[in-house]
Amino acid sequence: MYILCVYDYLIQAINKIDIYNCFQLNQANTPNVGSESYKNFEELIINADYTLCIKNEEVIAFAICFADTDKTIEYLNSVNHKNFKELIKMINNFLYVDRIAVAENYRHLGIGSELYKKIINYGKSQNYTSVAAEINYLPIKNDISFNFHKKHGFEEIATKKYSKEYEVSFQKCNIN
């Protein structure tokens, strides 16, 4: 297995120039991440508490995160973000990984782990007690994501079946 040297790539917050490329990567990763319109995707980034992208000539990975602050709760309620609404009933003082995607040609090189390392370090620096995420059971069980999150210390705290076509596992990793 080859390990990517992340020092060969730029790791930064998602900027206006990279939004479209992150959007394209998001859409290429559905249904493992939710499909969004470009406008909604751009709004997610603008309102996010923490974003990251890794790129060389192109964006090869990104993450969008939200915290359970009043401002974020107000925004995510306004867009009816059902998974975040469920999480704030279960835990508090957390950083939520709304979506993360890695380009297919760059998977299994440590890029997702590098993103999570940065997310967890940011969460610790902001004194959050945990990082949370959800993983699809339906429409397709995302076994790769379940294994990845388990490897990084996440545990299932609940599941929610919204319909016969959509069910998620809520995951949490304590960081402080």
Q: What is the CATH classification number for the domain harbouring 47?
A: 3.40.630.30
Structural domain total, the chain? 1
Please give the sequence-ordered ranges of beta strands (E in DSSP) within 29-165, or none if there are none.
50-55, 59-67, 94-102, 130-138, 155-163
At residue 33, does pLDDT exceed 80? no
Helix axes 82-90 and 70-78, enclosed angle (nearest 10): 140
> Which whole-number Å values give the CA distances from 68 to 49, 65, 93, 152, in the listed order?
9, 10, 6, 21
Q: Residue 90 has which token pair?
A: 């279960």
* Residue range(s) defining the domain that contains residue 151: 6-174
Measuring CA to CA, which residue among 23, 21, 48 is closest to residue 37? 23
Helix axes 38-47, 16-28, angle to 10 degrees: 120
Q: Is the pLDDT of residue 151 over 80?
A: yes
Q: Which residue has the tokens 């993983």?
A: 135
Answer whether residue 147 is part of any domain: yes
pTM of the model: 0.91
- Asked if residue 1 is part of any domain, the answer here is no
pLDDT band at residue 129 using 50, 70 and 90 as cut-offs: very high
Burial 99-124, CB ≥16 within 10 A → b, else e: bbbbbeebeebbbbebbbebbbebbe
Average pLDDT, the chain: 91
Query: 13-25, pLDDT tens digit by residue?
Result: 999 999 999 999 9
Answer positive or negative: Cα dihedral of 51, 150, 40, 18: positive
Residue 125 lies in a domain: yes
Which residues are within 8 A (CB) of 112 and not within 5 positions of it... i.e. 6 or more apart?
A: 61, 100, 102, 148
